[in-house]
Amino acid sequence: MHERKDPYPSRTSGKAQTIPRQDQVVYSRWSAGAPLSEDETRAFDRDGFILLRDLFDAGEIEALCRDAKRMLTASNGTLDPDTVIAEPDSGAVRSVFKVHEQSAVFARLAADARLAGVARFLLNDDVYIHQSRMNYKPGFQGREFYWHSDFETWHVEDGMPRMRALSMTVLLTANTPYNGPLMLMPGSHKSYIVCVGETPDDHYKMSLKKQEYGVPDDELLTQLAEDGGIAAPIGPAGTVIAFDCNTMHGSASNITPFPRSNAFIVYNALSNRLEAPFGPARPRPEFIAARTSVRPVVPVSGPLIQSAA
Ligand code: 6CS
Ligand code: FE
């Protein structure tokens, strides 16, 4: 059989190492009509993430929060049970996946020009939704998301060929210094951290609760953090963090009483559709990684919800 060349091998050997990024970060050239300023575009390229403040108004944020709560407290049968992930010890709801197919408001959010338009610009292609989810990080019980590059998982386990994808996180509670905010390592997206170990069968059943494979080595993490520092952007509900698929990120447990709930929409370039996984033979299910339900997003302008007036 023809051996497929893998530009980003990981979990194939006993050696943790760094491979330089082989792909662009910003695929478009900035011009005056772009949906980001020149400074924002440059910052995304340099840091691997940017903050977008005040994109949504109070009514829009409230509508998103209401539907996030509906999904959190949904009675049996309302949501696809596979998409609901429990916390490792308490059993509280940690994540709900595929929210853009289980909520009209989140479907509208994912198509919104304020997010999808920016994704199309940065990736310079039609985009589709690779993954969407709510991470609830409940008070007291919300556990950490250990340091990782999303791309490492998406490449090895899902067969995403190249780095041409990004996440948009919409904060739906305030993220404070205390409640386990998203932390990112600026500049880390320029290095691909090769992880050691193999991928167990049905790895997602464990990894979505607590990741133990595909975990970067301490020394390489230390190097990245020494080189670029660690950012923990905070802000009120409605703040958006856009970050590259290879930016090293994670978040700590939430021992405060206050939940830290964030929505994530992952956009992938249409030209970067999933292939066979580079690691395990069997791909992960559709609700974590869209393989067949691939539809270009047509950005929708205007408010998320029709106002009552
Ligand atoms: O495995 C995944 O695809 C997911 N896991 C993490 C920790 N981040 C990205 C993604 O939701
Ligand atoms: Fe992640």
pLDDT at 222: 97
Percent of the chain with pLDDT over 90: 88
pLDDT tens column, 281-292 = 899 999 999 999
Span from the CA of 43 to the centroid of ligand 1 (angstroms): 24
Q: Which atom of ligand 1 is nearest to the CA of 204?
A: 1
Span from the CA of 175 to the centroid of ligand 2 (angstroms): 16
Q: Using 50, 70 and 90 to split pLDDT, how confident is the model at 4? A: confident
Residue 219 has pLDDT above 70, yes or no: yes
Greater confidence (302 vs 214) lies with 302
Q: Give the closest residue to 132 by CA, choosing from 86, 156, 101, 171.
A: 101
Mutate to test the pocket of ligand 1, among 11, 145, 205, 208 (most ligand atoms within 8 A of CB): 208
Ligand 1 proximity of 145 Cβ (cutoff 6 Å): yes
115: Cβ contacts below 8 Å, ≥ 6 apart: 55, 109, 168, 170, 240, 265, 267
pLDDT tens column, 261-276 = 999 999 999 999 999 9
pLDDT at 212: 87
Q: Are 85 and 95 in contact (CB under 8 A)?
A: yes
Greater confidence (2 vs 251) lies with 251
Over residues 128-146, the mean pLDDT reads: 96
Ligand 1 proximity of 267 Cβ (cutoff 6 Å): no
pLDDT at 1: 53
Q: How far apart are CA 290 and CA 206, in angstroms?
A: 20
Q: Are 215 and 248 in contact (CB under 8 A)?
A: no
Is residue 269 classed as helix, strand or coil in its secondary structure? strand
Q: Which amino acid is at 272?
A: N
Ligand 2 ion: Cβ-proximal residues, 5 Å cutoff:
150
Over residues 57-81, the mean pLDDT reads: 92
Q: Residue 10's Cα: distance from chain center in Å?
A: 19
Ligand 1 proximity of 288 Cβ (cutoff 6 Å): yes
Ligand 1 proximity of 207 Cβ (cutoff 6 Å): yes
Q: Ligand nearest 184 Cα, by number?
A: 2
pLDDT tens column, 168-201 = 999 999 999 999 999 999 999 999 999 998 898 8
Over residues 143-150, the mean pLDDT reads: 96
Ligand 1 proximity of 203 Cβ (cutoff 6 Å): no
Q: Which domains, from first to last, does the chain contain?
A: 17-25+39-272 (2.60.120.620)
pTM > 0.95: yes
Ligand 1 proximity of 135 Cβ (cutoff 6 Å): no
pLDDT at 308: 56
Q: Are 115 and 129 in contact (CB under 8 A)?
A: no
pLDDT tens column, 94-110 = 999 999 999 999 999 99
